[in-house]
Amino acid sequence: MADYIPSPIQWVREQVELYEGSGGTQGTTLRDTGMPVIIVTNTGSRSGAIRKTPLMRVKDGDRYVLVGSMGGAPKNPVWVYNLRANPDVEVRDGTEVHAMRVREVQGEGERAQLWAAAVAAFPPYAEYQERTTRTIPVFVAEPA
């Protein structure tokens, strides 16, 4: 089994530690916003190491919508490349853990529907898209 490498970003590392260390009963919201997050465990595209990323909790039935916004930064978050290379992930939603497979959603049909769901769950996504020239990647995680 690959080694887990915690994020170099302190708040991300601390959020994952609190969330997982409590069995999913603490650290389940994004810092001081009170908005729910999930933890996505993925495999590094270059390192092959285990990575854990807190993302906004956006549900569509039994699926999760994963948005690579990085606050509207000019480049994608590293986890986007991890998911493109290794689509098998684990999603921790509170105390539940699900084996899932992701796929990137392209085009206007399904992507537009999932983007609308993401913005409804976390309105800053709309502002993040306005801030950047890149199209923010959208993935859907479905039961494996």
Query: H/E element holding 60?
Result: strand 59-60
Domains along the chain with CATH numbers: 10-143 (2.30.110.10)
Amino acid at 98: H
Q: pLDDT tens digits, the chain, 144 residues: what are they?
A: 689 999 999 999 999 999 999 999 999 998 778 899 999 999 999 999 999 999 999 999 999 999 999 999 999 999 999 999 999 999 999 999 999 999 999 988 999 999 999 999 999 999 999 999 999 999 999 998
Q: How many residues does the chain have?
A: 144
Output the pLDDT for position 83.
Answer: 98
Structure tokens given for 77 = 């978050």
Q: How far is CA 44 from CA 30, 32, 119, 127, in A?
A: 23, 28, 27, 28
86 phi-psi bin (left φ>0, alpha ψ -120 to 50, beta other): beta
Output the pLDDT for position 26.
Answer: 95
- Rounded to whole angstroms, the Cα distance separating 1 from 20 reads 19
Strands 88-93 and 37-43, bridge-based pairing: antiparallel
Output the pLDDT for position 100.
Answer: 98
Output the pLDDT for position 108.
Answer: 85
Which of 132, 136, 102 has its CA nearest to residue 119? Answer: 136
CA angle 28, 12, 138 (to 5 degrees): 80
Output the pLDDT for position 118.
Answer: 97
Output the pLDDT for position 2.
Answer: 85
Q: What is the pTM of this model?
A: 0.95
CA angle 91, 136, 102 (to 5 degrees): 30
